[in-house]
Homo-oligomer: A and B are copies of this chain.
Amino acid sequence: MARRSAARLKTVTPPEPALARDIDFGWLGGTVGLHLRLAQEAAFQAYARRTTGIDASPWRFAVLYLIDANPGLTQGDLAAAIRRNTSSLTPVLDDLCRLGYVVRERLVSDRRAYTLTLTPAGQAVMAELMASAVAHERELDRLVGRGNRSDLIRTLKRVIAGLEE
């Protein structure tokens, strides 16, 4: 934008991307479900914006973080922790291994399973992503309001546990 035809200075239709003309959300506008989703998506995108160029996805950060915090855990345990199918994890771990951030090693006591550990390079990347994650979380804190933070998390935990199946 900016410029283009010198004669027509303004009237460029200020970016104004849709702006969601005042729409009636009615009942929907008061639901927990809708706002949960919009907030989660907004948080997701804000995190991605913060980590441009590196790794991006919150799940990948979580994978690195959890391996670091629980060295030697197996893929099945990790998948259960992030509530994903083990087959969803395979390509992620393939990638992290290929990049040299994670090593898979057969468990001596059960050679069907792999233990996962971070390499020094993986720890370095994790630390870098951790900084973004902390900053991101600080921004969320600011928006949530310090006083509401623990209430919010407790409430969300109740929802998660209560809908579990």
Contacts and interface: CB of A to CB of B under 8 A. Distances in A.
A54 interface: no
A89 to B, nearest CB: 12
Assembly stoichiometry (copies): 2
A92 interface: no
A28 interface: yes
Contacts of A73: 23
Contacts of A112: none
A106 interface: no
A141 interface: yes
Interface string A64-89: 01100110010011111101000000
B37 A44 contact: yes
Interface residues of A, number: 69
Contacts of A133: 31, 33
B165 A77 contact: no
B21 A159 contact: no
Interface stretch (A6-14, A95-103, A147-155): A147-155
A70 B21 CA distance: 11
Interface of A: 17-21, 23-28, 30-47, 49, 58, 62, 65-66, 69-70, 73, 76-81, 83, 133, 136-137, 139-145, 148-149, 151-153, 155-160, 162-165
> What 10 A-B pairs come out closest when comparing CB atoms?
A18-B80, A20-B80, A35-B156, A143-B162, A42-B163, A40-B40, A39-B156, A46-B163, A26-B69, A32-B140
